[in-house]
Chains A and B, each alone.
Chain A
Amino acid sequence: KAGVTQTPRYLIKTRGQQVTLSCSPISGHRSVSWYQQTPGQGLQFLFEYFSETQRNKGNFPGRFSGRQFSNSRSEMNVSTLELGDSALYLCASSVSGRSADTQYFGPGTRLTVL
């Protein structure tokens, strides 16, 4: 089975722009979660989608949004980019989104905001 894939792997944007990141979960997985990883704040939960519905949301401003499609693929969008949004964005998928499920992570998208 193919693992979790994320595109693009690298992105460079300027302040004020918006960006969309994509995540394709493992086949058969219905839950997708997003995390932001920075040297200063570490790994922080952004949001989780299950069956096209957002189930949980972390403590991030409304500029961060996401969605999930019927094939379980997910996108996250960041509008009005700020320098502090520079980070590695990881997505993870699991079979059913239960807390006991193992989450499988993708390689991440490295976003640099100039």
Chain B
Amino acid sequence: AQTVTQSQPEMSVQEAETVTLSCTYDTSESNYYLFWYKQPPSRQMILVIRQEAYKQQNATENRFSVNFQKAAKSFSLKISDSQLGDTAMYFCAFIYNNAGNMLTFGGGTRLMVKP
């Protein structure tokens, strides 16, 4: 079974600064996908960024980037130039290939961006 661990239940960052959220996972699969989802207080979960395990290059989406270390089974999210709208719960999620849409989520990190 796959497990996803987010070791930081809560974090805070000053507006315009950079913050990194940690995620580790455990799997025996070699072909899989990793995601970071954001759940603002309104509760609608939205995809922030995704990474295919077969790609060595780290994914980047505007102010969001990941540090994917496959051997270490680590998948951290870096948010640059933090904005107030980044305040949310962030979930790291894993899915192995051929698992349909069965995501395994970490416990989440609550991020507060302070003005």
Contacts and interface: CB of A to CB of B under 8 A. Distances in A.
B97 interface: yes
Contacts of A103: 47, 101, 103
B91 A43 contact: yes
Contact of A102 (B42, B44, B50, B108): B50
Contacts, number: 68
A106 B46 CA distance: 9
A92 B106 CA distance: 17
Contacts of A58: 102
Contact of B102 (A45, A88, A105, A107): A45
B44 A31 contact: no
Nearest to A45: B102
25 contacts: A3-B44, A31-B100, A33-B100, A33-B102, A35-B105, A42-B105, A42-B106, A43-B103, A43-B108, A44-B105, A56-B99, A56-B100, A56-B101, A56-B102, A90-B45, A97-B100, A97-B101, A98-B100, A99-B95, A99-B100, A99-B101, A100-B33, A102-B50, A106-B44, A107-B43
A41 B93 CA distance: 15
A33 B34 CA distance: 17
A56 B46 CA distance: 22
Interface string A66-103: 00000000000000000000001010101001111111
A63 interface: no
B104 interface: yes
A28 to B, nearest CB: 15
Interface in B29-59: 32-33, 37, 42-47, 50, 52
B105 A43 contact: yes
A55 interface: yes
A99 B42 contact: no
Contacts of B91: 43
A106 B39 CA distance: 11
Contacts of B97: 99-100
Nearest to B47: A102
Contacts of A90: 45
Contacts of A43: 91, 103, 105, 108
Given A42-B108, A99-B95, A102-B50, A94 B101 contact: yes
